[in-house]
């Protein structure tokens, strides 16, 4: 997965930056029956390193789910988006923040963002109109 090398960036006096990449999510994250991720998750992030060495990471994720409609079992596909918003502090996080030492691994932040963005069910176009 992607990392942010905070130590190297601070040494180069680079305190802000952008990241854009795609990754394949873990299969077990989606618990909607008969539904799977259709392709990779697209990620766009902006990070900022502050004077106290805390790092704020914000951005968005986008992904597509495909499978059977949770209501009528007809084929369904829908694109979803979610927000990414995390604060990394040294040396350890406290439940509301993420911890890091020199290098930030974005795995846990992206996993959390994806879990929050997942819908409770997938509906086909016809069933979504009836909602």
Query: Helix/strand/coil (H, E, C) string of 16-41?
Result: EEEEEEEECCCHHHCCCCCEEECCCE
Distance CA 112, CA 107 (A): 9
Q: Fill in the DSSP letter of residue 91.
A: S
- Residue indicated by tokens 């604060």: 87
Inform me whether the pLDDT recorded for 60 exceeds 80: yes
Q: Could you tell me which residues come within 8 angstroms of residue 96 by beta carbon, excluding any fewer than 6 positions away?
A: 87
Average pLDDT over residues 35-50: 96
Q: Across all residues in the chain, what is the average pLDDT?
A: 93
Q: Strands, DSSP E only, in the chain?
A: 3-5, 16-23, 35-37, 41-49, 55-68, 75-89, 98-99, 103-105
Higher-confidence position of 68 and 131: 68
Average pLDDT over residues 105-129: 94
- Residue indicated by tokens 């040294």: 90
pTM equals: 0.91
Average pLDDT over residues 33-49: 96
Average pLDDT over residues 96-107: 94
pLDDT digits (tens, 9 = 90+) for 17-37: 999 999 999 888 999 999 999
């Amino acid at each position: 997965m992607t990392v942010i090398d905070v130590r190297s960036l601070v040494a180069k006096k680079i305190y802000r930056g952008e990241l854009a990449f795609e990754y394949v999510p873990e299969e077990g994250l989606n618990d909607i029956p008969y539904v799977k991720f259709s392709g990779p998750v697209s990620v766009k992030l902006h990070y900022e390193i502050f004077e106290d060495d805390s790092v704020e990471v914000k951005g968005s994720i986008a992904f597509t789910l495909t499978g059977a409609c949770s209501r009528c079992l007809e084929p369904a596909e829908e694109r979803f988006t979610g927000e990414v918003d995390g604060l990394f502090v040294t040396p350890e996080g406290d439940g509301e923040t993420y911890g890091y030492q020199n290098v930030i691994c974005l795995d846990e932040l992206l996993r959390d963002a994806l879990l929050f963005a997942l819908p409770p069910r997938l509906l086909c176009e016809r069933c979504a109109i009836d909602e």
